Structure 1
Amino acid sequence: MNLSLMFDAMIVLPSGIVLTLTLTVLSLTAGFLLAVPLAFARAFGRPSLSLGVLAYTYVIRGTPMLVQLFLLYYGLGQIEAVRASVFWLVLRDPFWCALLAFSLNCAAHTTEILCRGLLSVPKGVVEAAAALGLKRLQIARLVTFPIAFRISLPAYGNEVVGMIKGSSLASTVTLLEITGMARQLVSSTFAPYEIFIVAGAIYLALTTLAVKATQFLERRLSIDGHPTRRRKVRFRPGLPRHRTTTPVP
């Protein structure tokens, strides 16, 4: 094992972290914004609408993200109508193709995650909110979705970790994120072992931070409240006990 090459990789590869995080954050944001209405349609929509959302999530979740990326980047460019349209200004750029593929994939997974959370909300809570005079949109925004998001947070944390690792596929369409930088460095040093060990360590650090952030958010959104507040209650001294005395005549 060449330690000097590993040291050089530790200097070069972090330059791809910015692109990796950019793709990950934008994909998660776009996917989440698209998944929220789709999850409500999947859980509470009419059968035809729910079936249409199911078909989308079934196809996207059942096919590899690499195939989806190749279809967008290489496949759409073969269609003359696409190349003659205004969409070609975006689709010819590998960054936007990767972002579109990752966002659609993330939206499909997040839709099913949030759908399970929405269906897990107790009906009694919704009925109580309706009894208070809240409208359906208010119930969905103030009651149903916050509870469903808290229920779905552990599974959504796995989706965040998966998207960080899945962003490495962007290297297949010439983007120089962490994996792309590693492949470029390997082509010049012919030392894949040392280079990809460093790349794997960087991904491990990023996913560890994502897991810790998810766990912190879970604690903040827990029903019991903030952990420091619970500690204050736990160590609060009890009230003094009063002796029961009988009046002396």
Structure 2
Amino acid sequence: MDFAFLTQTMTTLLKAVPMTLALFSLSIVSGGILALLIVWMRVGGNPLLAAIAKGYIFIFRGSPLLIQMFLVFYGLGQFGFIRYSFLWTFLREPFVCAVLSLALCTAGYSAEIFRGGIRAVSPREIEAARSIGMSGALLVRRILAPIAFRHALPAYSTEIVLMMKSTALASLVTVWEVTGVAQRLISQTYRTMEIFLCAAIIYLVLNFIILQAMSLLEYSLSRHRRAIPPALKA
């Protein structure tokens, strides 16, 4: 085992971690906001908006992310109204296309996760809130959103981990994140095993940090479900 080469490779790949984190954070934030909009359309009671939301979810959950990314990167420039508009200033950048693809994809999955969290809220809790005068935004902010998010958190944490791994696809549209840099090193050295081993370790560490953060968040939101110490029961 060539430890000197592994150290050099790990140092090179670590320099690409900020790009991976930028792809991940921007796609998760923008995808989460879009998912909330889709959930509102799905459960808002308007049949037309609900149908549009269902179609969106079907398309982005039913087609591979790689194809979606290629369509955004190579396909949007084929439309004149995009190529000759201010949008082309942003959409011609591979990084923007990668973030857009990841965000659109995760929005479809996250919307269904959030909808499942909303459906898990007991109607009795909503009725109890309404009986004391809560309605509209206050009910959503104080009752519906916290409980729904708590129910959705385990599944959403899995989606977040999947999105971290999905950032590796950005290398196929010339975004030099960890996997892209690893592939470039392999083309120069032909040492596939060592380089991909270093890349795998980086992804494992990043996902471990994410899972620990999500576990802490879930723990802090579930205080009411913890067992009461025997000393307090007496």
Q: Give the TM-score range, shorter chain.
A: over 0.9
Partner residue in 1 for 2:8: 8
- Gap change, CA 1:175 and 1:137, over 3 Å in 2: same
Q: Is the 8 A contact 1:43 1:50 kept in 2?
A: yes
Q: CA deviation at 1:236?
A: 4.1
Partner residue in 2 for 1:104: 104
> What is the root-mean-square deviation in Å for CA atoms of aligned residues?
1.7
Higher-Rg structure is: 1
Could you state the TM-score of these two structures normalised by the residue count of structure 2?
A: 0.94
- Distance in 1 of aligned mates of 2:68 and 2:201: 27
Q: CA deviation at 1:80?
A: 2.6
Return 43-52 or 7-16, whichever deviates more. 43-52
- Gap change, CA 1:91 and 1:238, over 3 Å in 2: closer
Q: How does 1:138-157 map to 2 (within 5 A)?
A: 138-157=138-157
Q: CA deviation at 1:2?
A: 3.7
Q: Match for 2:46: what amino acid?
A: R
Return 75-84 or 19-28, whichever deviates more. 75-84
Partner residue in 1 for 2:86: 86
State whether structure 2 residue 203 is matched by structure 1 residue 208.
no
Q: Is the 8 A contact 1:40 1:118 kept in 2?
A: no
Q: Match for 1:128: what amino acid?
A: A
- Distance in 2 of aligned mates of 1:204 and 1:146: 30
Q: Is the 8 A contact 1:5 1:195 kept in 2?
A: no
Q: Which whole-Å deviations, capped at 9, do the CAs of 1:52-88 have from their partners, x for residues lacking one?
A: 1010011001111111111111111122332111110
Unmatched 5+ stretches in structure 2: none
Q: How does 1:52-91 map to 2 (within 5 A)?
A: 52-91=52-91
Unmatched 5+ stretches in structure 1: 240-249
Q: Which whole-Å deviations, capped at 9, do the CAs of 1:192-248 have from their partners, x for residues lacking one?
A: 1110011011101111111111111111000427x7xx7xx6274787xxxxxxxxx
- Distance in 1 of aligned mates of 2:101 and 2:200: 23
Q: Is the 8 A contact 1:43 1:119 kept in 2?
A: no
Q: Is the 8 A contact 1:19 1:177 kept in 2?
A: yes
Partner residue in 1 for 2:229: 234
Q: How does 1:163-202 map to 2 (within 5 A)?
A: 163-202=163-202
Q: Match for 2:163: what amino acid?
A: M
Partner residue in 2 for 1:136: 136
Q: Is the 8 A contact 1:43 1:118 kept in 2?
A: no
**What's the secondary structure of 2:224's corresponding residue?**
coil
Aligned length: 234
Q: Which whole-Å deviations, capped at 9, do the CAs of 1:160-210 have from their partners, x for residues lacking one?
A: 100100001111111111001111111111111110011011101111111
State whether structure 2 residue 162 is matched by structure 1 residue 162.
yes
- Gap change, CA 1:139 and 1:37, over 3 Å in 2: farther
Percent identity between the aligned chains? 37
Could you state the TM-score of these two structures normalised by the residue count of structure 1?
A: 0.88
Q: Is the 8 A contact 1:40 1:115 kept in 2?
A: no
Partner residue in 2 for 1:24: 24
Q: Which whole-Å deviations, capped at 9, do the CAs of 1:111-162 have from their partners, x for residues lacking one?
A: 0000011111100111111111112222122211110000000000001100
- Distance in 2 of aligned mates of 1:216 and 1:141: 22
Q: Match for 1:156: what amino acid?
A: Y
- Gap change, CA 1:119 and 1:238, over 3 Å in 2: closer
Partner residue in 2 for 1:244: none
